[in-house]
Structure 1
Amino acid sequence: MDDRWLSVDEIADYLGVAKDTIYTWVTSKGMPGHKVGRFWKFKKEDVDAWVREDGAIDRLRTGKLVNE
């Protein structure tokens, strides 16, 4: 099982969004992430649950869960 922490680049690629979108979601939409020094790190399972719980619902409804 791959239980490692993902970087902003990796989680953005996984979700198909821009890095700036990840930073916005972390700071204003409560996307689960942890600051390690000056870097943000993410657990894929936490992010998956957040998306399922409508964390990114505005993007999903408009079909804009893609790079901007």
Structure 2
Amino acid sequence: MQRIPMDRTKWLTIEELAEYLKMGRTKLYRMAQEGEIPASKVGNQWRFDREEIDQWMKNQRPVSAGQRQEGVAR
């Protein structure tokens, strides 16, 4: 079986996501179960869309002081 490089894979396993985000699998399982991170469950396995994860990560950035003063929250 040919292994596709992770940077070309659309759907990530929990192990691949943990490596990609440098986070623990247990924490990611909990976040997926509680709907805190975009995920799909296929049977008993979680899958994560790389593009959705990238967008979710961008949305996790803290609001800057300038944005708070203007009343813009992201």
TM-score by shorter chain over 0.5: yes
The residue aligned with 1:4 is 10
Bigger Cα displacement from structure 2, 21-30 vs 41-50: 21-30
The residue aligned with 2:37 is 31
The residue aligned with 2:28 is 22
Percent identical residues: 29
The answer to whether the 8 A contact 2:13-2:47 is kept is: yes
State the number of aligned residues.
56
RMSD over aligned CA atoms reads: 2.1
Consecutive unaligned residues of structure 1, counting only runs of 5 or more, are 58-68
Show structure 1 runs of 4+ deviating over 3 A. Answer: none
TM-score relative to the length of structure 1:
0.69
Deviation at 1:3, TM superposition (A): 4.5
Q: Distance in 2 between matches of 1:21 and 1:29?
A: 12
